[in-house]
Structure 1
Amino acid sequence: MPSFTEGHHSVAVPEGASWWRRFLAFAGPGYLVAVGYMDPGNWATDIGGGSAFGYMLLSVVLVASLMAMLLQALSARLGIAAGLDLAQACRAHYSRRVTIGLWVLCEIAIIACDLAEVLGTAIALQLLFRLPLVWGVIVTAFDVFLILALQRFGFRKIEAVIVALLLVIGGCFLFELAVAGPDWAGAAGGLVPSSRVVTDPKALYLAIGILGATVMPHNLYLHSSLVQTRVVAADDAAKARAIGFATLDSSAALFLAFFINAAILVLAAATFHRAGRTDVADIAQAHELLAPMLGVGVAGTVFAVALLASGQNSTVTGTLAGQIVMEGFLDLKLPVWLRRLVTRLLAVVPAAIVVGVAGDRGATGLLVLSQVILSLQLPFAVVPLVAFTGRRDVMGRFASPRWLAWLAWAVTAAIIGLNATLLWSLV
C-alpha cells in the first residue's frame, strides 16, 4: 500500500508526446522539495553568515546545494525504481526497533523544520502587520487548513501554488539585489572554500546551520514518495526515462533554491557586512535596517513579503512530509488535519514559550538552533538512502553504479564529519 494514497499515480504522463511535454508532466515534485531548502530557517543562518563573514560562506551554500542535488536524485531513483518511499524501504528491510528509532528521529527533524516555519511566518506577520510575535506564533497554528483547502483541487494545483510562491520569493530577491549592488567579484570569490570555515568556531556553527537548512532530512522521504504521483509504466525503459526526468526536475528546482539562499547571504553581506554591521543575525533587525541602509523605502516590505511566502510554502510541504513519514514507517493513517495540527502544536508551544520568556530576539537563536538540529538528524536519513539505492535486491538494474555509490558515500562521510566537528566544538 503506497503512502500518500490520494496523490499516488494521479498525474498522467503522455508517453508518446514530445520530450518537452513529458518533462513538464514530471516537473513539480522537485519544486515541492526545493521549498524545504529555502524555508525561514535558511534566512536566519544566511543572514547571520553574510553579516558576520561577508561572502565567505557562499562556498558552504554551494557545496550544500550540490550535496542536495545528489541526494534528492537518489531519493527520486529509489521511489521510481523500487516503488517505495524511503520510510517504506526502512520498514521493509530493517527491524521493528530500528524502524521506530528512525521514525522518532525523523519526527524530531520535522518538528524542528516546523518550528522554523512557525517563527518565520510569525516574524513576517509582525513585520507586515505589526502583530505581536507571540500572537503571530499562535495564528500559525491554524494554517493547517491551508493544505486541506489546497488538496481539494488536486495535486497539480498544489504544485502550481508552490511554484507561484517560489517565483514571488525569487522576484523579491532580484529586486533587493538590484538595489543593494553587491560586489560580484567578491561574491564569486566566496564560492571558493576557505579553511576558516572549519577553524573559526562561529563560522563552523553557522556553516553547519546552513548545511542543516539546505539538506533537509525529511525531504529525502518526501521526494521518494512524490515522484510516485506520476503514472510510470512497469518496464525498465519507462522507469529509466522517469528517473532522468525526475532528476532534471529536482536539479533545476534546487538550482533555484541555491539562487535564493545565495541571494539572502549576498544581500546581508552587501548591506550589513560592507557597512561594518557584522552583528546582524536577526531577521526582524535585518528588515528594520534594510530600508535606511539601502535608501529604498519598500526594501523592508519586499523582504517581509518574501519571508511570508517562504513560510507558507514550507507549511504545505511540511504537511505532506509528516503524512508520508508516518504512513511509511508505521503504516498508520491519520486524518491530515489531525496529523498537521499535532505537528504544528509541537512547534507552536516551544516557540511561544521562548518568545514569551526571551522576547523577540530569542526567536532568531531558536531558528538557528532548529537548523543545527536538522543537520544532526541528517545522517539517519542519508545512510539508509545511500545504502538502499546501492542494493540490487531493492533497486534491480537501477542500483547505483560504483562511481555514484562512492560519491554518495563520500557525501555521507562529509556530513557525518561536519556534524562530529560541530558536536566536538560545542562540548
Structure 2
Amino acid sequence: MRNLRKLSYVACAIFFFTSCEETYNDKLFWPGEISQEYGSYIKPYTLDLTYSGEKLIGKTVSFKTEDSETGTLTLNNIIPGEKETPISRIQLYENEKKGYYTFSGTNITMGGATVKYEGIITPKNMQLSLNVTMAYANSIANTYTFPAYSHTTDGESIIRNSGASYVNITTKAGGESLQPVILQIQQMATNILDVIFPYVLKDITFEKNGIVTASYTTSPVDMNEIMEVANSGKTDAEFKSLINKRTYESSPKGLAYWNQTGNKAFVVQLNIPAIVSLIAQNNGKQIDYQLIAGISEALLKSDPARLKLTLSAINMILNNEIITYILQLDDDTFATLLTWMKDGIPMGINSTKEHTYIYFNKETLMPFISIIGSLLETNLIEVAALFDKMEIGIDLTAKK
C-alpha cells in the first residue's frame, strides 16, 4: 500500500510537469517570467521608456500575461493625472531569432488620451515607446504669453487693465460684509502675480502630447525686488524696462506634463528627478540621474516628516531658494505638497475666446489659507468658509 501511494505521488508529479511542458514548451518565455514590474529607478534598470520621443526615467510599468500570447500593460503615473493606465488585450509576437516578444497598438485611456505604444519584452527588460495625444489637445495645445502689464490713471486712482494674474473671489449669500477682506486679497494677489509671472517666465507651451515647456529666466530671482515692484506701483513703461533687462532660455522637455481631466479640471504632473537634476546642474553639481530617480522614488513613498528631514540635508548641498521656502512650510501644507509631487498638482481651467485661465481653486488653496492670512495679518480660515469661489492663478493668451 505504501509503495502504491508513492507511485501515485510520482505519477502526479510527472503529470504536473508534463502538463506544464505541454502548455508552455512552445513559448519563448513562460508567463511567470514576463509577468512583473519593470522600472527605471536604480541601475540596472529594467525599463527603457520614451514618451513622445523623450526618454523618461524614474517610472514603472507592470505587465501580466496568463498564456504568453496576450497580456495587460499598466502604466503607473505616466499619463498625467492618471495613477494607473491599464492597456488590455495586448497581442505578443514572438521573435525567436532575437529572443524577445514584440507588441504594438493604440489605446484610448480612461481620461480620453490616445496612446500609441510599441515595445519589446523579455524577462530582464522592456523597451517601451509611447506617443501620446491628450484628450483636449485641440483646444489647449499652444504657446502662450501673458496679457500686457497695463494700467490707466483716473484722478488719484490707478486702474488695472490687464496683467498676468487671474484672481476671482466671490462669497456665499450673507457674506457681503467680507468685501473689504476680499478686495484686500485680490489686490495683494494681483499685484504680486502680475509681477512674478513675467519676471520668471516669458512664455509657456502646452504640447499636444502633454509635455510642458517654458522660456524661463536665467537672471537672478530676487523676491525682495519682486515685492518692491509689486508694492511700488511702477508705471507700465518702467515695468516693461525691468522685464526687458532679464534673460530667458527654453526649458528642456520632460520637466512637466499637463492634462485636462474634465470640463474644468486640469493637472500638472512634475518630473521630480528631472527637476532636481536640472537644479543641481544649474548649481554646478553633477549627480547621476538614475541615482536621483531612485532617491526620489524612495522619498516620495516615505512619510512627510522623514522627507522634510532628508530635503533639509540635500539642500545643504544645493542651497536652493525654492527648497528653502518649502522647508519652512508647516507639516500639513508640506504633506499636501508631497501629494502633489506624487499625483500631480490639481488645478482648474477656464477659457474664453481670448484668454485661458489656469488656477488653484478654493479646495486646493485651503492648506495655504493660513499663509495668506499671515501676510494680511488676518485669520482667514473662518473667513474662507464663507467664500463661494476662490480662484487664483495665471491669465494666458495665445502667442501670435
Q: Name whichever structure is richer in helix by fraction.
A: 1
TM-score (norm 1): 0.24
TM-score (norm 2): 0.25
Higher relative CO (CA 8 A, sep ≥ 6), structure 1 or 2? 1
